Structure 1
């Protein structure tokens, strides 16, 4: 059983990275197998180029990093996504990851009769943060964005999706942040 953690935040001192470090510490303490995809550290280019789009429907890949990510996902039984909500959505690298890695004939098959899932990932845990309150995000985006992402992941064969959002991060005290961090591993 392999847990794959994907983080999309460019600043290593971010609260998102603190969550990642706390999750890694728990996985190591429990001697669980894990792998980390750090989209920013890897220099992942989220932009789908014309030549990539030309081979997209055949499930072909031109980017070696995408092939590497596909290999990691084949081994994954639990997926953990960690990212901030910016402009009412995920950062560009995560959106590009979904577009470029979860390809036809790898993550799903679409032969014209509807999407058939090809990935089998037993559990997905999503951790998001924002500077806005949860109420503000729900008014503007969270439900629709959450629904879109959950639908996408379900359509390709991912199951048992849970979502944990922490809003108003900048307004939290150090004690409140530490209290939240103390609970992240048990959410896996």
Structure 2
């Protein structure tokens, strides 16, 4: 059985993001995936990269120690699914901190002769289920950084064969019908992951 690591980053249990998260987890399980559901807030993940961690960042023999369990979960996955809101044109701080602390040299990439090479190539499928408060045009004018990180950086790091970016823009004015349609779209994407 293939394992999907779901990284969920929203602090409010009755938010629309919680509904997206539930749709992702339920649909993946129903589709035969073993799901490692990592709710960053519920599990109390500490997103702060400490001075000691930064100073030991490039020491591949020891850099994993502070986040060994999270690295183990990442290395066991064949799919990575992110569920998060876009705040201030970026990831929630807790998710950004996850990437800072867990996507380490020797974990997500290796350095050879000063060049970065992907190291999460066992992850063959990546999906992001994202909500934006702002409209698509405003987000595009700002460069849509979260989309670029997922579709470029994560794609490179994993060499994913399949990548999905499922965004609901203009969440602040989304009707019940638009939210329901987004949940249905997420479910279809997870069925085909």
Same fold (TM over 0.5): yes
**How many residues get paired?**
185
Shift of 1:130: 1.4
Q: Does 1:40 align with 2:41?
A: yes
CA RMSD in angstroms comes to 1.6
Q: Does 1:98 align with 2:103?
A: no
- Aligned-partner Cα distance in 2 for 1:155–1:58: 22
Structure 1 counterpart of 2:143 = 141
Please list the CA deviations of residues 46-82 of structure 1 after superposition, one character each: whole Å capped at 9, or x if unmatched: 111101112110131342xx21111111111111001
Matched ranges for 1:122-133 at <5 A: 122-133=124-135
Structure 2 counterpart of 1:152 = 153
Unaligned ranges ≥5, structure 2: none
TM-score for both structures, normalised by structure 1: 0.90
TM-score for both structures, normalised by structure 2: 0.88
* 8 A contact 1:7–1:81 mirrored in 2: yes
Matched ranges for 1:157-172 at <5 A: 157-159=158-160, 160-172=162-174
Secondary structure (helix, strand or coil) at the match of 1:109 reads strand
Shift of 1:141: 3.3
Shift of 1:145: 3.8
Shift of 1:147: 2.1
Unaligned ranges ≥5, structure 1: none
Please list the CA deviations of residues 17-47 of structure 1 after superposition, one character each: whole Å capped at 9, or x if unmatched: 1011112221232332111111111111211
- Aligned-partner Cα distance in 1 for 2:157–2:175: 39
- Aligned-partner Cα distance in 2 for 1:154–1:184: 19
